[in-house]
Amino acid sequence: MTTALDSSVILDVLTGDPRFAEASERLIRKASQEGRLVIGECTAAEILAAFRRRADFEEFLRDWEIDFLPSSLESSIRAGTHFANYLQRGGKANRVLPDFLIGAHAAAFADRLAARDRGYSAITFRS
């Protein structure tokens, strides 16, 4: 089982978030025990700021056994399609939001997405 990680759960752990770090770390460890962990460009870019040096970032990925998988044209098209639908429903963003890119990457390269939304950490399975 491949789990894509959203930046929210990783940043909870990296920043020691008092409300969510424990739950997010449990979630990541459980997903790791069940299979492969992956991230794409958006997640990598969002978590990079939590590190002082690039080498620390790369060491973190190795230590946690998180693989970087670049996006594809298909995942980009999926993100753009979802963004267009969002705008048609009245969404107000001027640019594609990272959530669309992260979600599309997970749909293309993973079986599920581990994220924190609305105050809790969860693994969402693809339908």
Domains of the chain: 2-119 (3.40.50.1010)
Cα separation of 47 and 57, whole Å? 8
DSSP helix/strand/coil, 18:
coil
Q: Which of 71-75, 97-101, 104-108 has the lowest mean pLDDT?
A: 97-101
DSSP helix/strand/coil, 14:
helix
Flag whether pLDDT at 127 surpasses 50. Answer: no
- At residue 96, the pLDDT reads 82
pLDDT tens-digit map of 42-75: 999 999 999 999 999 999 999 999 999 999 999 9
Tell me the mean pLDDT in the region 110-118.
Answer: 87
Decide the pairing of beta strands 120-125 and 112-117: antiparallel
Tell me the mean pLDDT in the region 76-100.
Answer: 90
Q: Tell me the three-class secondary structure of 28-78, residue by residue.
A: HHHHHHHCEEEECHHHHHHHHCCCCCHHHHHHHHHHCCEEECCCCHHHHHH
- At residue 121, the pLDDT reads 52
Cα separation of 39 and 119, whole Å? 21
Tell me the mean pLDDT in the region 67-87.
Answer: 94
Answer with the residue of higher pLDDT: 31 or 96: 31
Cα separation of 89 and 105, whole Å? 22
What is the DSSP-derived secondary structure letter of residue 11? H
Q: Provide the 10 A C-beta neighbour count for residue 58.
A: 12
Answer with the residue of higher pLDDT: 94 or 3: 3
- At residue 93, the pLDDT reads 83
Q: Which of 32-41, 69-78, 94-103 has the lowest mean pLDDT?
A: 94-103
